[in-house]
Each structure stands twice: as structure tokens, then as C-alpha cells.
Structure 1
Amino acid sequence: MAVNATRIAVAAMVLLGAAACGVPVVGVPVPVTPQSPVTSTATVAVPAPETVYVQPPVAPAPAETAEARTVVAYYDALNRRDFATAWSLGGSRIAGGGGYPRYVNGFATTWWDTLTVTDVRGSTVYVVLSAVQTDGSTRTFSGTYTVSGGVITGSHMTRTK
């Protein structure tokens, strides 16, 4: 009994220590060994305990939301040079003035975009963007996109590098 209590205490300290250090433990099965209460000092034959796994509920990854999929689809279209699709996914709303020809021309020196969705809160998608330019340099941005009805309706991006 003391050995099992020690194992449980050690497992709890490891989990609490990992949580305190910011190490994610979501989705990691944690073995829990049910204990039989001992009510007397007489020797009792107790069957071997079975191991039960307790797993906390897992929230969907940010990139799996409909809002995030819209932003990912937008950058997928840009990478494929399918500017008409990107325009219809919200490029028309975030391009500013100048219309479609100016919008397309704005990507003339962008070779490839790598997008990382870092969070989604309601209709706001938080991203980090790495844009490799045709001259080999990379521009990095972070910011947000607002999505409504499967279309990007606004953005606020800041160049970080």
C-alpha cells in the first residue's frame, strides 16, 4: 500500500511540476491505479489492480476551426498563384485601394508564404507569417485576421522582421 501511495504521489508531483513549468500535458495518458481500502490488519487477498487511463478533454487545435481554415485557404491560394480565389476569400476586403490588378501586383516579389495559426478566439485568427521573397530574403509578420461567413473581413498584420 505504501509503495502504491508513493507512486501516486510521485506521479502527481511530476504532473504538477510539468504544469508549473508550462510543459503541456494535455492529451498525455496518465496511469491511475485504483486502490482498495484496507479496513483491518488481517491479510486479505486482493486482486491485482487494473490500470485506468484518464485523459483530459482535448480542445481542437487552432488550425482546425472554420475561421482558421479560411485563412489557411487564402494563403494556399496565394501560394498557388490563384489570385482570383484569394481575392474571393477576402483579398478584396483587405487589399485597400487599387482594385484587383494592384492586389495581384502586390505579390509580385513574394515567392512563398508559410503561415502558422497560433490561436483562434471567436472570429479572430492569430497568425505568424513568413514570406520568402523572390530575391531569397524573408519577411516575417504577426497579427490577426477576422473571418465571417467563410470570408476574411479584416486584418491587422505587423512586420516583425
Structure 2
Amino acid sequence: MKAAGILVAALISASVAACGTPVVGVPVPVAAPPATSTTVVAVPAAPQTVYVQQPPAYVAPGDTAEARTVVAYYDAINRRDFATAWSLGGSRIAGGGGYTRYVDGFATTSWDTVTVTDVRGSTVSVVLSAVQTDGSTRTFSGTYTVSGGVITGSHMTRTK
């Protein structure tokens, strides 16, 4: 009987260890043995910063250099790499306010999701959902013009 108890304990330990192996991007439950009056379970403090994997930046009907440029632009914005976004065309579509004003324009934007709906030559048609820091979402549709790997123009209209 004692050997059977040791075998069961070994199987439980193996199961707990297997459940505790994380897979990137997928939440994994971790089973813990039930607490008894003699069991002490340490609970780690909650982390100060939690990073959440975001959805893909776009869905493209055709994988073209022009579509990739627009996607790279929004990827840079989502990473808060405004220098890269500026060099990918932000400088050309900022409206003359300069770099600081351009960056300040994203102060209330948490995350952008851009969907490429069509690519015709140098014109990339998109739908943009911009999640705001207050939890609301602003939706836009329009086009970007891309030349030489840089956005050279845009015509976006707020739809919601």
C-alpha cells in the first residue's frame, strides 16, 4: 500500500510539473496540491507591469511591399517607436506640426489595429481601429500612398 501511495504522489508531481511548463502566448493553468493544515503555499506578489500579447496588426488581402510598409508603420506606433514611424512616413502625413506634436497625437492611443482591405499599385486601402486609453475605440477608413518603402500621403476619414 505504501508503494502505491508513493507511485500516486510521483504521478501527481509529474502532472503538476507538466502543467507548469509555459507555452509562449498561451495561458497555462498550474495545478497545486490541495492545502492542508500542514501545507504552506507561498503566493508570489503580483508583478508591477503586465504585458499582454496583442492581436496581429493587420490582415492583408495581398502581401505587397506597399502593404508591409503601412503595417510596419502601425507596428512601430504600437511599440511606441515613434522615430521609426516618423521615418516610415509619419513626417509626411503629420500635417506640419513637427515630431513632438506628432508623438503627442498618440498620447491617448493604447493600440492600433489596421486591416489592409485592398492594394492597387501604390495605394493601400485600410480600416483602422484605434483603442484609446479610456477604453473607447475610434474607427477610421481610407488610403495610404506608398513610394519607395515610405508613406508619402494619406486620406483617412473617421467613421466612428
- TM-score normalized with structure 1 length: 0.62
- 2: distance between equivalents of 1:72 and 1:89? 10
Q: Offset of 1:98 from its aligned partner?
A: 1.5
Matched with 1:104 is: 103
- Distance change >3 Å, CA 63–CA 82, structure 1 → 2: farther
Matched with 2:150 is: 151
Amino acid at match of 2:133: T
Larger CA Rg, structure 1 vs 2: 1
Matched position secondary structure for 2:135: coil
Q: Offset of 1:62 from its aligned partner?
A: 3.2
Q: Offset of 1:78 from its aligned partner?
A: 0.1
Q: Is the 8 A contact 1:127 1:143 kept in 2?
A: yes
- 1: distance between equivalents of 2:154 and 2:78? 19
1:89-140 Cα offsets, whole Å, 9 max, x none, are 0000000122000000000000000000000000000000000000000000
Matched position secondary structure for 1:62: coil
Identity within the alignment, %: 92
- 2: distance between equivalents of 1:136 and 1:160? 17
- 2: distance between equivalents of 1:149 and 1:107? 25
Matched with 1:70 is: 69
- 1: distance between equivalents of 2:62 and 2:137? 23
Runs of at least 4 residues off by over 6 Å: none
Matched with 2:125 is: 126
Matched with 1:83 is: 82
Matched with 1:142 is: 141
Amino acid at match of 2:154: S
Q: Offset of 1:63 from its aligned partner?
A: 4.4
- 2: distance between equivalents of 1:62 and 1:72? 13
- TM-score normalized with structure 2 length: 0.62
Matched position secondary structure for 2:91: helix
Q: Number of residue pairs matched?
A: 101
Amino acid at match of 1:97: G
